[in-house]
Amino acid sequence: MESLKIEDILVSKLIMGTDKIDTIGTDKDVFALYDGYINKGGNCFDTARMYVNGQSEEVLGRYLKSRRNRDDVIISTKGGFPHLNDKTRSRLSKDEIFSDCDASLKALQIDKIDLYWLHRDDESIDVGEIIEPLNELIKLGKVDKIGASNWSTQRIEQANNYAKSHGLKGFSASQIQWSAAVSDEVRYNDYGLKIMHKSQYDWYLKSNMPIFAFAPIANGFFNKLSSVGANGMSDKLKARFLCDENLRRAHILSDICHGKNCSVTNAALAYLIFNKLPTAAITGAKTMAYLNDAFDTFNFNFDQFDFEI
């Protein structure tokens, strides 16, 4: 299947997201889904210290131990999420970064994290104070590569310039909310979260930085629009994505679906997977039916021209 190159590793362009695994069922149910993902050709699991109060990492750790397949998969996890009772208070001190990383290693039952991301930024902290401890983790052998999750392009550039000028490793990739649907940080209403905009897209295109796109099908917006209409959507989904521009984009995706006889999910994922930017999409599929639909995207002859929307 298609791969995303991040320095010396190849990540499958469909990544298994592990948030909200408590909605799937028992370990047996989760393991079956993860087996299905790997059997389809996927090789990367994306999790975070704060997902389901640490349970997502713990379940993934039990899965890796049960299947003895650690060397065959890429583990991507995130630390440094703000205080849950006050998200305006960041947790990006050296001690907090180290503590989160150690807790992730223990929960995952592994010796090294392939891709370690900081879940949020705090622009009041100098980038050097963040890059330095991350590089200590690399030197200690606890982390291979570092990434920025929900960081602005300006801050990523500052951090990588600092790293370069000090002989350190900078961010190898970025996680950002990105889909075929447009939104903005105010409408999305998730503190500290960053969303792809035109100016950021241009920067990523110029820098050629690999991207992990989360919420790649806009929380199911286009599927809901085609199946139940705007009135059948939740208030949260409407607040985030219902606007004239996304209705226009929905028509374009619908035309693509009819032309290729594919699902809305296929068209929406293809917008990212086959984009000019080096991008992988994090799927939140919780059943094999949804996972199979996502992987079907690779069975159609998409190209970038389809997605000039």
Residues labelled as active-site residues: 51
The 8-class DSSP code of residue 86 comes to B
* Alpha carbon separation from 160 to 54, 202, 280 (Å, rounded): 29, 17, 21
The two structure tokens encoding residue 151: 């960081």
The two structure tokens encoding residue 50: 């704060």
Residue matched to tokens 């590569």: 145
Of 269, 221, 283, 266, which Cα lies nearest the Cα of 37?
Answer: 283
Please tell me whether residue 16 adopts helix, strand or coil conformation: strand
| DSSP letters for 87-104 | TTS---SHHHHHHHHHHH
- Those residues with Cβ within 8 angstroms of residue 80's Cβ, 6 or more apart along the chain or in another chain: 90, 91, 92, 96, 97, 100, 118, 119, 120
Which run of H or of E encompasses 149?
A: strand 143-149
d(CA 198, CA 193): 16
Please tell me whether residue 43 adopts helix, strand or coil conformation: coil
d(CA 193, CA 54): 20
